[in-house]
Amino acid sequence: MGRIIAGRIDVQEHAEELVSAIQGLGISRKKVSVFYVNPDGQHQLLPMGGDKDHSPGTSASGKGAWIGAGAGAAAGAAVGSIAGPVGTAAGAGVGAYTGSLAGAVGETDKTAESADKPAGGSRIADRQAGLHVAAEVSSRCRQDVVALIRQYEGEQIEDTPGRIEDGEWVDFDPTQPVNLAS
């Protein structure tokens, strides 16, 4: 398996110029790939579309709903007890419903916020959507390709194992995190 050096390029003209510059290093056009990465969650890997079974921020929403339902039922029952047994039951029902909704939403927000924060000092990042240029490189020209991507305003430059055949990165997985090049 070869080494892939790739980067996200925001300007299409820069991508085209970068491909020519990479070829100038002696890398065959068949070992260079230009492709677009869809935004996270839109890679169409699952039968119903998308690439995740659930949204990252929803994993704790069930727990929050149960906690909110319990607290809401107790508060609703207390308020409803003023109106007697029927009021107690109605208050508990309305309180449980309202509490479960508030609890689920509250936990979803907390989880989504923590999912967006990168691990401190990590050289792995979430792949960003956009136009990408990748080249299968030898060890002797690895740093030259990294320098070219930077020269053409490339971002999120990665260094990963892989194969490019006839201009297609055949083992590319858009859901995998990016191993940032140094």
What pLDDT is attached to residue 149? 97
Q: Which parts of the chain have pLDDT scores under 70?
A: 41-81, 83-84, 86-122
Dihedral sign for Cα atoms in the order 149, 151, 155, 156: positive
- 3-state class of 16 per DSSP? helix
Tokens of 18: 């970068």
Q: What domains can you pick out in the chain, each with its CATH number?
A: 2-40+126-179 (3.30.70.120), 56-115 (no CATH)
For residue 7, report the phi and psi dihedrals to the nearest 5 degrees. -155, 155
Condensed to tens digits (0 to 9), the pLDDT of residues 94-142 reads 656 666 556 666 655 544 444 433 444 447 788 899 999 999 999 999 9
Q: Is the separation of the CB atoms in 31 and 166 below 8 Å? A: no
